[in-house]
Amino acid sequence: MDFSFTEEQLMIQDVARRIAQEKIAPSAEHHDQTGEFPLENIRTLGENGLMGIEVPAEYGGAGMDPVSYVLAMIEVAAADAAHSTIMSVNNSLFCNGILKYGTEEQKQKYVRAIAEGREIGAFALTEPQSGSDATAMRCKAVRQADGSYVVNGKKSWITSGPVAKYIVLFAMTDQDKGARGITAFLIDTDREGFGRGKTEPKLGIRASATCEIEFNDYVVRADEVLGAEGEGFKIAMTVLDAGRIGIASQAIGIARAAYEATVEYVKERKAFGQPIGAFQMTQAKIADMKCRLDAALLLTLRAAWQKGRFDQGGARFSNEAAIAKLTASEAAMWITHQALQIHGGMGYSKEMPIERYFRDAKITEIYEGTSEIQRLVIARNETGLR
């Protein structure tokens, strides 16, 4: 098995690392404190191909593979998780589904603008009363005689909702069909009938703007349906498989930043006449942190590799993505917890970024499928039981 990366993969990693270190890391504390959306930095990421890493060049993207996406995401997340959240939604949840299920016209209109960083995209599946149970959605789209649809309803916890120009929306078109009655639509937020709620105050990833959105007799044209009527649930689940690779990568970036800061700290901080890294209990923590970090990375790279095969007509990668997301998110939470513990009072202080890593890590266990949902996915795939 060859664990080396190609020149192209290393190139996009270097680009991401440079932007992360020069532009994102210096502003991370400011954005965390203020919750200000980092539009300028997102534009820079887009101009360098990082808002559409897997998007072909003819649609404004970098034309790279899923492994490249993982490597770039890790670098951005290590600098600031909020930036990587925006990057993940644009790449995984928005562009990915349109590339796979959209028409040529839809790709040119919606994907290009997002991939080039000129506009922000979002993904609207969750509702106030339905999170993990997506089939319980109440947002409805009623088909009209001319082929258009009238949409009414609310969606909640929409990442980038306050600033998004375009949104991939999932709405119920036939309640009696359950999951097969869900359809995906492409939404222009400048149109009448669309509204945004207040920006949510969050524990972590604070610069990633999140809000509730509402549709009141919003009209969707026939050419703004993504895929076919009734294919929405299938599209959502396929897109979430890809999204879970993005969140796993984000978790690895957060965990890596916390781990690297801790390794430096235990070599410098002294107690009882020696560096605290010389104590066996500290060494055991460092060893366990490194093992979990490397395990998460390898499982995520495996999932990305499998996605690359899927994109070429291979088998689905749902299980690999769920395993990667579960392992990486729980590793990030555990590693940042240990990092904070080792740093002691300084870890609890906002003078250091450790407490931010800890707060940011928690969301990776929740969005794009909770850890509990990942366990269900994995177990059902393994046993065949539902």
Task: Give catalytic residue positions.
Answer: 368
| 3-state class (DSSP) for residue 210 | strand
From the list 297, 326, 34, 37, the residue with the least C-alpha distance to 164 is 37
Is residue 115 within 8 Å of 61, Cβ to Cβ? yes
At position 179, the amino acid (one-letter code) is A
177-195 residues labelled b (16+ CB within 10 A) or e (exposed): eeebbbbbbbbebeeeebe
Q: Would you state the structure tokens that stand for residue 95, as one six-digit string?
A: 């562009």
Question: Could you give the CA distance from residue 157 to residue 353 in angstroms, rounded to a whole number?
Answer: 25
Question: Could you give the CA distance from residue 153 to residue 376 in angstroms, rounded to a whole number?
Answer: 29
Q: Which sign does the torsion angle of CA 44, 47, 49, 51 carry? A: positive
From the list 122, 56, 54, the residue with the least C-alpha distance to 93 is 122
Is residue 85 within 8 Å of 37, Cβ to Cβ? no
Q: Would you state the structure tokens that stand for residue 43, as one six-digit string?
A: 């534009």
Question: Could you give the CA distance from residue 174 to residue 182 in angstroms, rounded to a whole number?
Answer: 7
Question: Could you give the CA distance from residue 74 to residue 323 in angstroms, rounded to a whole number?
Answer: 17
